[in-house]
């Protein structure tokens, strides 16, 4: 049997729910030594749901030699500081998306991880959905043939109450709007599947449905890794929220990935469906999705610690997706 790895969680916001459910499932592999939050009220509410030991003292967590790995769930604006402290203390780190507020700060964090020699992973879990894995296998195996065109849509909804929360949708706390906070998952998956080599043009705006600092709508024309045309439309103004969608047109067939459901249709008449495992959090309830993919990312993180290898979503991979987001936003400003 694999050994148990001592784990701590720092930050107990909404993202802690799927992470914690995953850690309960992975109890034979992960020994949760601490969960930490600066907020006594948040810590008390969390411990009514989960049995893990809690503390408000992050220094005590980092000084605990039994803690080998830390899952960082603090706001994006603190990822560099908190993750760097964990790495300096000799801990492996899994950090929530996005990597940081800006590409420059993300680069600092990735450099710190490289210097530490520790495993560093980022929670971009859409790559681990069963339908995503099947689509990747179909593309890698040439089943769809040469990619001729592609589409990425994220027609999500967030009510104004979501953006009325302190810091939501601001550059200072979140670093960006729909692209960096919501659509990053689908964009990262899209990029990992077929690549994006160029941003041809973009439109970036804030619709009249929201009062917020950053964007809630982005449209873009892209070139995929092989130069094929692609279209992107992402928003949090599409009431009541609909599953994100990736379509890939190949010479041998067509793939439609809607939420977690994949439909493969081949020109020779064959077809295949991988059913969704649940909702995607596309509407007002931001936590309305199963935690299976989170569990898979954490398991992959633990695998990398045990083997001394690399996780699937490294800091460098997350940085590439964040650079693409910056390029799209810059094209929209032009």
Q: Which pLDDT belongs to residue 282? A: 64
Sheet holding 92-96, edge to edge: 54-55, 30-36, 5-10, 69-72, 92-96, 120-123
DSSP at 145: -
Burial 29-66 (b: 16+ CB within 10 A, else e): bbbbbbbbbeeeebbeebeeebebebbeebeebbebee
Query: Of 202, 191, 214, 218, which Cα lies nearest the Cα of 318?
Result: 191
Q: What pLDDT, on the 0 to 100 scale, is given for residue 283? A: 63
Q: What is the pLDDT of residue 277?
A: 75
Task: Please report the domains of the chain, with CATH numbers, ordered by start residue.
Answer: 5-124+295-312 (3.40.50.720), 127-288+316-333 (3.30.360.10)
Return averaged pLDDT per consecutive 10 residues of the chain, 334 residues in all.
88 94 97 95 93 95 97 96 98 97 97 98 97 98 98 97 94 95 97 98 98 98 98 98 97 96 97 83 67 96 96 98 98 91
Which three-class secondary structure state does DSSP give residue 51?
Answer: coil
* Per-residue CA distances from 208 to 167, 205, 236, 239, 332 (Å): 19, 10, 12, 13, 18
227: number of Cβ within 10 Å: 10
Structure confidence at residue 229 (pLDDT): 98
pLDDT at residue 289 in the model: 76
């Amino acid at each position: 049997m694999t050994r148990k790895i001592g784990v701590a969680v720092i930050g107990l916001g909404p993202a802690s729910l799927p992470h914690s459910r995953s850690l309960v499932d992975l109890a034979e592999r992960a020994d949760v030594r601490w969960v930490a939050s600066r907020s006594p009220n948040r810590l008390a509410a969390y411990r009514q749901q989960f049995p893990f030991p809690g503390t408000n003292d992050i220094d005590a967590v980092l000084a605990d030699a039994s803690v080998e790995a830390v899952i960082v769930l603090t706001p994006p604006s603190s990822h560099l500081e908190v993750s760097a402290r964990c790495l300096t203390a000799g801990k492996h780190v899994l950090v929530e998306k996005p990597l940081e507020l800006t590409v420059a700060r993300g680069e600092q964090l990735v450099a710190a991880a490289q210097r530490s020699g520790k495993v560093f992973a980022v929670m971009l879990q859409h790559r681990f959905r069963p339908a995503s894995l099947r689509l990747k296998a179909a593309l890698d195996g040439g089943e769809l043939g040469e990619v001729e065109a592609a589409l990425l849509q994220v027609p999500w909804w967030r009510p104004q109450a979501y953006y009325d929360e302190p810091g939501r949708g601001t550059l200072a706390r979140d670093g960006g709007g729909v692209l960096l906070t919501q659509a990053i998952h689908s964009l990262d998956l899209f990029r990992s599947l077929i690549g994006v080599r160029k941003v041809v043009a973009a439109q970036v705006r804030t619709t009249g449905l929201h009062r917020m600092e950053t964007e809630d709508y982005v449209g873009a024309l892209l070139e995929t890794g092989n130069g094929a045309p692609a279209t992107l439309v992402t928003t949090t103004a599409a009431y009541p929220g609909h599953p994100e969608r990736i379509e890939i047109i190949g010479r041998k067939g067509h793939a439609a990935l809607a939420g977690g459901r994949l439909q493969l249709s081949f020109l020779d008449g064959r077809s295949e469906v991988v059913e969704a495992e649940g909702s995607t959090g596309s509407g007002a309830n931001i936590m309305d999705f199963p935690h299976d993919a989170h569990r898979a990312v954490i398991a992959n993180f633990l695998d990398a610690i045990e083997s001394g290898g690399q996780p699937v979503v490294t800091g460098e991979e997350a940085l590439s997706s964040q650079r693409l987001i910056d390029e799209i936003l810059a094209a929209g400003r032009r």
